[in-house]
Structure 1
Amino acid sequence: MTFLLVAAVAALVTFVASRVVLALALRHGIHPPVRERDVHSRPTPRLGGVAMCLGVLGAFGVASLLPDFAGVFAEPIRIWTLLGAAIAICAVGVLDDLVDLDWMLKLGAQILVAAGVAVLAVQIVSLPVAGLTVPSSQMSIALSILVIVLVMNAVNFIDGLDGLVAGTTIIGAAAFWAYIWMISENFAQRNAYFSLASLITAIIIGVCVGFLPVNWHRAKMFMGDGGALMLGLLTAASAIAVTGQIDLGTMGGRSQILPAFIPILLPLAILLLPLTDFALAVIRRVANGNSPFAADRKHLHHRLLDMGHSHLGAVLIFYAWTAVVSVGCLVFLIQPWWVAVGIMVGGFVVCAVLTAAPVSRRVWRTFLRVLHERRAARRGVRPSRLAATSSDRPGDHR
């Protein structure tokens, strides 16, 4: 109930703030023109990050008044650092949406914000396998900065379809919160359930739930770089807070062999699609002699649209892949490894079939057309032209 309260506050504040920010943006014409790589056709405000930031601040404020989170707020410097970092990176993202900052300047700001979080809030001090520690504090800080910047940009890179980032973040964060709750059962202290990681994750879920109504297709407002970068920052911070501070090697039972790597695998699994998109984009752009942050229209979600998926269909496919990977990792904690592997493989097959469905339909239609023409040729009849399919109609995005 405590976590539901915090998440509900985050959702309510974000939803109300989204309506206010949207009204102000429309009244004053604060929305950038439609770019060539955009999939929407009308100018839409990109200030959703402002409302989401207010939701984060409101939820943290309420949590600070709850006795269950007294241990979290016993170290105020960590909280103030995270909140300051969230505000700062949101401001950088909003500024970039409005005036299009140089990529070097934006990357420099991200590194500075990540450095502040790594030095004063959370950092990777150990890996959750047999108590393996990072050799030095400098390496710990550097590794934490790298992870935070990587996750921020990975989340930002997939923010190209209505409801995509908000929905996938809800699914992944819910799985990660469940994981934190499950491993907390191994500790005798009640406050193990009410950690910084679990609080951040609950707030992330609430903020995304509150923003999704105005971001669902057709979106009235986008979260923009401000919201995406902030979500990436908080997601990375919650993952580091768990991955760097819990040694499952001391828990026995469920922590043996592969499950011992879950604290590393789960955050990566949740961000599998964003990280894949990020890696492919960097390789593609550098190979073409461009900046790794130069925008283009070749992201995974663009490719799904080009395959023939509808806007909503592409988003739901991202949801499905995220759910299969996230839930699949959790199954390793509660079922034998072979059961978990079977579930994940089955999920992958279903997702692969859904992803390839438009191509399969086109191949099947081509096969039927060729078969029809051959039969007609054998009968000596000139085949009539088949009715145009949806992919042949004017206006197709291909």
Structure 2
Amino acid sequence: MTIVFVPAFFCAFLIACFVCFGVRRVPILDDAAAESHKTHSGTMPTGGGLGIWLGVVGTFVIATVGLLLVDRFPGSRLLPGDVAVHIPGLLSKLGQLWTLLGLGSVLFVLGTFDDRYKLSWKIRLLVQFMVAIAVVSLGFRITAFIDIPLLTAALSVLWIVALTNSFNMLDNMDGLSAGVAVICSVFLAVVMFLTPNATGPQLFICGFLVVLLGSLCGFLVHNNPFRTRLFMGDGGAYFIGFLLACATLTATFTGYGNEHRPQTLFVPLLILAVPLYDTTTVVLIRFREGRSPFSGDKNHFSHRLVDLGLSRRHAVLTIYLTTATCCIGALLLYQVDIVGASLIVLQTGLTLAIIAVLESRRKRH
């Protein structure tokens, strides 16, 4: 894992440094005065997503070239035997990898244009659905023991669009969206590593998530609850959400050795519970207030915690801890039977319900 993690981390780190100092020459800035729902003051570069994007894509360019060279010279001893044995399998997945990265890049460009030109929500949503449909048409979809192709296709499209927007909506305080994505990536990678399935690319997805993790860590050096030099922008947030959505669709969660545990289908829902909770509650609040679900405001999870008296930094750290709590429950699903799994899912739901009750009282005091 270090082979892919280190290059991704330093690639994202160096590019983020470049973007931080160079993007102010390009009119892609987040101006707090232009939008009332912003929580920062003044202007800030929004090109940090370029660091995340290039950290992922650049690392896979290097990895792809390396794999092709190793395949070209099979007699060489460039890699240890226990690594070289996986080369044929990795080469067979390159087509899928670059297809997903290409579609993710479309969303990155979409978000970057939105940062610059403030695109209509209809245009953004249309492109997101087109990309999601393209992913599903290539065979990446939820199965969940449902033998209704049209239904699984529709659920998969909605899953991709929902997560793509969830991480963008979560990007409302310093280090929040990227930090939550780091936690989710870590736990998803652990699940992929601990639950290998001979019929599914579990180790491949694990490595994919480690690359994303490295890029996110490189970005967090420049955008975290303690110091902020630039924002990721919509492009970076869309790219993160899309990659995590595709990783969960590609993975197999029910295989655990020779056993099949249907309750483990809840693993991605628990790991990604916080971004989905934020999006769901924000949309419900906007509908209740008679506003468009795509209008900006300060009704997000983090804003509601601030209304309860937390500082913005403590609100972000609280959401980190909530995310980790939900993710730990996901790991436990592999250790229990269906009754225990039901209790874990119920406990996670009750945890979020307690938070919702506390938040509902914020404007009464």
Is residue 86–residue 233 contact of structure 1 (8 Å, CA) maintained in 2?
yes
Compared CA separation, residues 169 and 344, structure 1 to 2 (3 A) = farther
Matches within 5 A, 1:177-326: 177-184=189-196, 187=198, 194-195=203-204, 197-217=205-225, 218-243=227-252, 247-248=254-255, 251-252=258-259, 255-256=260-261, 260-262=262-264, 264-326=265-327
The whole-number CA distance in structure 2 between the counterparts of 1:266 and 1:320 is 18
Compared CA separation, residues 247 and 320, structure 1 to 2 (3 A) = closer
One-letter identity of the residue aligned with 1:4: T
Give the aligned partner of residue 96 of structure 2: 78
Compared CA separation, residues 302 and 149, structure 1 to 2 (3 A) = same
Compared CA separation, residues 266 and 71, structure 1 to 2 (3 A) = same
Is residue 169–residue 279 contact of structure 2 (8 Å, CA) maintained in 1?
yes
Give the aligned partner of residue 380 of structure 1: none
The whole-number CA distance in structure 2 between the counterparts of 1:116 and 1:157 is 23
Is residue 69–residue 194 contact of structure 1 (8 Å, CA) maintained in 2?
no
Give the aligned partner of residue 186 of structure 2: 174
Is residue 46–residue 222 contact of structure 1 (8 Å, CA) maintained in 2?
yes
Is residue 9–residue 217 contact of structure 2 (8 Å, CA) maintained in 1?
yes
Give the number of the structure whose alpha-carbon radius of gyration is greater.
1
1:164 to 158, 176, 179: 176
Matches within 5 A, 1:315-354: 315-334=316-335
Give the aligned partner of residue 373 of structure 1: none
**What percentage of aligned pairs have identical amino acids?**
29
One-letter identity of the residue aligned with 1:58: G
Whether 1:46 aligns to 2:38 is no
The whole-number CA distance in structure 2 between the counterparts of 1:219 and 1:122 is 36
The whole-number CA distance in structure 1 between the counterparts of 2:318 and 2:41 is 22
1:25 to 14, 23, 26: 23
Give the aligned partner of residue 115 of structure 1: 133
The whole-number CA distance in structure 2 between the counterparts of 1:242 and 1:63 is 21
Give the aligned partner of residue 37 of structure 2: 37
The whole-number CA distance in structure 2 between the counterparts of 1:350 and 1:111 is 29
Report Cα offsets for 1:12-59 as digits up to 9, x if no partner.
111111111111112445313113111111211111111111011112
> Shift of the alpha carbon at 1:249?
8.3
> Shift of the alpha carbon at 1:120?
2.4
Compared CA separation, residues 93 and 56, structure 1 to 2 (3 A) = same
Give the aligned partner of residue 70 of structure 2: none
The whole-number CA distance in structure 2 between the counterparts of 1:135 and 1:121 is 14
Is residue 192–residue 203 contact of structure 2 (8 Å, CA) maintained in 1?
no
> Shift of the alpha carbon at 1:6?
1.0
The whole-number CA distance in structure 1 between the counterparts of 2:132 and 2:228 is 30
One-letter identity of the residue aligned with 2:243: L
Compared CA separation, residues 72 and 135, structure 1 to 2 (3 A) = farther
The whole-number CA distance in structure 1 between the counterparts of 2:25 and 2:167 is 29
Partner SS for 1:24: helix
The whole-number CA distance in structure 2 between the counterparts of 1:99 and 1:157 is 18
> Shift of the alpha carbon at 1:350?
12
Is residue 333–residue 344 contact of structure 2 (8 Å, CA) maintained in 1?
no
> Shift of the alpha carbon at 1:344?
9.4
> Shift of the alpha carbon at 1:11?
1.3
Report Cα offsets for 1:50-100 as digits up to 9, x if no partner.
111101111212332244354233144322211111211001011111111
Given the two structures, how large is their TM-score scaled by the length of structure 1?
0.76
Give the aligned partner of residue 147 of structure 2: 134
> Shift of the alpha carbon at 1:290?
2.6
The whole-number CA distance in structure 1 between the counterparts of 2:321 and 2:315 is 10
Partner SS for 2:55: helix
Number of residue pairs matched? 340
The whole-number CA distance in structure 1 between the counterparts of 2:90 and 2:155 is 24
- In structure 2, the gaps of 5 or more residues are 68-83
The whole-number CA distance in structure 2 between the counterparts of 1:114 and 1:10 is 26
Partner SS for 1:148: helix
- In structure 1, the gaps of 5 or more residues are 364-397
Report Cα offsets for 1:356-384 as digits up to 9, x if no partner.
69x99xx9xxxxxxxxxxxxxxxxxxxxx
